[in-house]
Amino acid sequence: MRYIEDDLKDKTILITGGAGFVGSNLAFYFQKNHPDANIVILDTFRSGETLSNGNLKSFGHFKNLLGFNGEVISGDINDKELLLDLRNKYKFDYIFHEAAISDTTALEQDLMIKTNVNAYKDLLELAMEHNANMIYASSAATYGNAESPQKVGREAPQNVYGFSKLSMDNLSREYMKTSDISIVGLRYFNVYGPREYFKNTTASMVLQFGHQILSGKNPRLFEDSDKILRDFIYIEDIIQANIKAMQPKKSGIYNVGTGKARSFQDIVDILQRELGTNLTCEYILNPFIGSYQFHTEADISTTKEALGYEPAYEMEDGIKSYIDEIKRMYEEEIK
């Protein structure tokens, strides 16, 4: 679906983190719907380097870009010489900033702040010099255990990732006061959909449960999973919000979710219906009680009003649309 009618012919669009989950989906949206735009992807492709928790430092994967025809640059947003090179060699009209240390369990506070906050400031400076509108990924992690529904202005981050994203939002607000460019922060809630497989263990539980079921294993859920609720949002609605955020003079911080909280039990039940299985669920103790969000639900009223955003996918619709890709990834990458 095409979300804006604007002519992007000869416009140059930078997507940082473009080999990741959201970034690669954005790249293919533009390639399909705005083929005359110039798309430049910047990503720190995975190298095998890990964080102290054992997870990969970068989830960027070339397979997410198979079929992409635009320009691809391997590089780190912390590299000031690279950013200077981008500043001098290109003239960007839009910047979609998806690159980040996105692992919420990462313990490297220094790397998280350097990558997510300091490098973002450098990119804002680049955007101002190019007069490019900035659309960037914030996160529902800014809310921590804040009361539902989560509203902008009621943040209480519980980890350094959430803190870094809130710091990005605060920085953005300062730039909004004096800048002529549009700066839009989108707080993603629990995103699922195609091209997330290479996030490994940080991929959505929709994908992880789907692959458990396809392997014939009983789905393993925490006890009382029918009471653990999240605002799960399909990738197509994330793309919709990003594209609608391209409108000029729409600066602000906005939630991007469905506005409805659904349970992990719902995910398994819908997957079993779509896959035609009837495996018995196994329930295990939840070791994260006390450090676990039991209810997230985005207040999307301002997102609807300012951006014209309207979520199109209920969980049933999203999983149904996703199911063939879940099967394909299982056949190609796991089986």
Confidence grade of residue 48 (pLDDT, cut at 50, 70, 90): confident
Contacts of residue 324, Cβ cutoff 8 Å, sequence gap at least 6? none
User: pLDDT, tens digit, for every residue of 199-246?
Assistant: 999 999 999 999 999 999 999 999 989 989 999 999 999 999 999 999
| Virtual torsion, Cα 93, 32, 207, 49, nearest 10 deg | -50
Catalytic residue list contains 161: yes
Give the residue among 34, 41, 46, 42 at the shortest CA–CA distance from 7: 34
| Active-site residue identified among 165, 199, 313, 322 | 199
Res 10 pLDDT > 90:
yes
Contacts of residue 85, Cβ cutoff 8 Å, sequence gap at least 6? none
CB 279 within 8 A of CB 214: no
Confidence grade of residue 142 (pLDDT, cut at 50, 70, 90): very high
User: pLDDT, tens digit, for every residue of 157-175?
Assistant: 999 999 999 999 999 999 9
User: pLDDT, tens digit, for every residue of 100-138?
Assistant: 999 888 989 999 999 999 999 999 999 999 999 999 999
| Active-site residue identified among 94, 161, 197, 322 | 161
Domains of the chain in start order, with CATH, are: 12-334 (3.40.50.720)
Give the residue among 249, 251, 233, 203 at the shortest CA–CA distance from 300: 233
Res 22 pLDDT > 70:
yes
CB 231 within 8 A of CB 298: yes
